Amino acid sequence: MAKILRGRNRLDMMVCEDALCLLSRNLDGDLGRDETLGLYLHLAHCDGCRRQMERMAVHDAGIAGLRRAYEQQAIRGDLCRQIETAVRKVKTPRSAGIVFLERWMPYRAHALAALTGFLAAVLIAAIAGMPPRGDTIPGRFYFNEVILQEIGYQSWPRPVVLAPGGTIGIAFNRSFEGYCHMKMAAPDGPVCLEILHDDPDIVADPVHSLTIHRAHYASLRNPRRNDRIVFTNKGDESLTISIQQPDGKDGFKITPRGDDTKI
């Protein structure tokens, strides 16, 4: 009872605009119990809103009549069948997951290959970005086993082919700061290559053997005047050696020396 009284007090405060809004919602069946009670309590003492309610109700009845008139129109008998036929002709719908699988399953081998290639590229990039490792002579000369795809330096002098048992020495006619890169390629390899750094006063362990599979890359850091590197092909196949000109050092010259009669 107290709740209803509180409602009555609140309703007495309801303005007609609010009541009309509730009236509209009431016609659409949207009012809850309390709102319905509040609306009817307002209508009980408001003639204007009662008249509006009657008008709205008449309009709604008119709309219902209009809707019925539409629905009594003839509808083409075969419309349904026509739609069904059209639906059967279009592609079958699938849930998003199935659509994804259907779309990519034919390319799974390609996708796998692409993924493998990507991972290999990432691995190579990671290795290439790593500092030279292994077979390192501290301070002067080191090798690494990175397979070079491209070398950003102009090759000079022209590559030389070292036959099995052949030897070639490379001497520097002056000192400079930077790296001299040497690329050794044995496409028919593997070939065992012996590398001698001909300066026993500085290098404690001057002889290195390197197995060349396809292409290897050696670097000489900060070569000095008269430094000499000797390569000997210890294998059964020929290999190619090319010297990469250090960047930004115009006029620098590397002179092949030694036993070049077997080249």
What does the binding site for another protein look like in residue numbers (CB under 8 A)? 20-21, 24-25, 27-28, 30, 52, 55-56, 59-60, 62-63, 65-73, 75-76, 79-80, 82-84, 86-88, 90-96, 98-99
Residue placing its CB nearer to another protein in the complex, 5 or 86: 86
Q: Which is nearer to another protein, 33 or 76 (CB)?
A: 76
Shortest distance, position 105 Cβ to another protein, whole Å: 16
Residues 6+ apart with CB under 8 A from 53: 23, 43
On whether the CB atoms of residues 19 and 46 are closer than 8 A, the answer is: yes
Residues 6+ away with beta carbon under 8 Å from 66: none
- Provide the β-strand partners of residue 192: 211
Shortest CB 77 distance to another protein, Å: 11
Nearest CB to another protein, comparing residues 83 and 161? 83
Q: Are 219 and 184 in contact (CB under 8 A)?
A: no
Least Cβ distance, residue 110 to another protein (angstroms): 25
Strand order in the sheet with 167-172: 207-212, 191-197, 228-233, 167-172, 254-257
Nearer Cβ to another protein (88/158): 88
Of 83 and 120, the one with the shorter C-beta distance to another protein is 83
> Residue 63 CB, nearest distance to another protein (Å)?
6
> What is the distance between the alpha carbons of residues 239 and 136, in angstroms, rounded to a whole number?
22
Question: Taking the complex as a whole, how short is the minimal distance between the CB of residue 103 and another protein, in angstroms?
Answer: 13
